[in-house]
Amino acid sequence: MINFPEFEEKTKIFFKDKNLLKQAFTHRSYINENIGTALSHNERLEFLGDAVLELIVTDFLYKKYPKYAEGELTAVRSALVNAIIISEVASKAGMNDYLLLSRGEAKDHGKARQYILANTYEAYIGALYLDQGYDVVAKFLSENLLPKTDEIVNKKLWRDAKSLVQEKAQEFIQTTPQYKVLSESGPDHDKHFTVGIFFGSELIAQGSGKSKQEGEVAAAQAALKIKNWLD
């Protein structure tokens, strides 16, 4: 039995509507495996939470970096709210221990779990917004996600990773990176792609995303770290 009061104690955020909290952690696979349950899956909350997250992050970046142009702000925001960062933050908050999943999904701790965690984080934000409003969500994000901004900006992780890795690869090893889809999973409405970046025939790194483009960017970022090409 999932102990949601324990999670509330950890976060010091206590929901008025406990069903909203449970719904935020309920994956579609759990509903499919437990026909007749009174719970709903978290996809509608995720949809709402994604929008709330984007607004709060945009407002924060707009005020924090008054000299950044629109394109730079967009790039920093994209780097901050990508699935890799959000899943890391969700995991650090302990969300992995409270997921309601099917038996099959519960056994998978790879890339699929990473995306479930990221989606759950967004669903939690949606639930928290409905339960307690904008200011409480903003405070929650200021304590766990927004502090990641300094690292992203200081290490210039917001730059166009694909252009940068191509520039560095041509400079140092005289080759142009190639990208290949290594695998894809999930239903049509929620596809996840794993993409590899190759220098010649050598697989350098992999990245995942909800689109091929997102996977390519994640792979490029991973390759930059592996090759130590981040200035």
Give the tens place of pLDDT for each residue, 148-162.
999 888 877 667 788
Task: Tell me if 231 is assigned to some domain.
Answer: no
Task: Tell me if 132 is assigned to some domain.
Answer: yes
Task: Tell me if 25 is assigned to some domain.
Answer: yes
Instruction: Name the residue among 172, 223, 215 with its Cα closest to residue 198.
Output: 223
Q: How large is the angle between the packed helices 43-64 and 70-80, nearest 10 degrees?
A: 130
Question: Does 115 share its domain with 210?
Answer: no
Note down the domain range covering 92: 4-154
Question: Does 192 share its domain with 148?
Answer: no
Give the Cα separation of 35 and 66 in Å (integer). Answer: 51
Q: Phi/psi at 93 (nearest 5 deg)?
A: -75, -5
Q: What is the pLDDT of residues 6-65, one digit of tens each?
A: 999 999 999 999 999 999 999 998 888 888 787 899 999 999 999 999 999 999 999 999
Question: Does 67 share its domain with 19?
Answer: yes
Give the Cα separation of 217 and 79 in Å (integer). Answer: 10
Give the CATH number for residue 78: 1.10.1520.10
Task: Tell me if 175 is assigned to some domain.
Answer: yes
Residues assigned a catalytic role: 50, 122
Give the CATH number for residue 203: 3.30.160.20
Q: What is the pLDDT of residues 12-29, one digit of tens each?
A: 999 999 999 999 999 998
Q: Phi/psi at 202 (nearest 5 deg)?
A: -90, 125
Q: Is 44 helix (H, G, I), strand (E, B) or coil?
A: helix
Question: Does 32 share its domain with 55?
Answer: yes
Tokens matching residue 231: 């200035």
Question: Does 90 share its domain with 10?
Answer: yes
Number of domains in the chain: 2
Question: Does 92 share its domain with 147?
Answer: yes
Give the Cα separation of 217 and 192 in Å (integer). Answer: 14
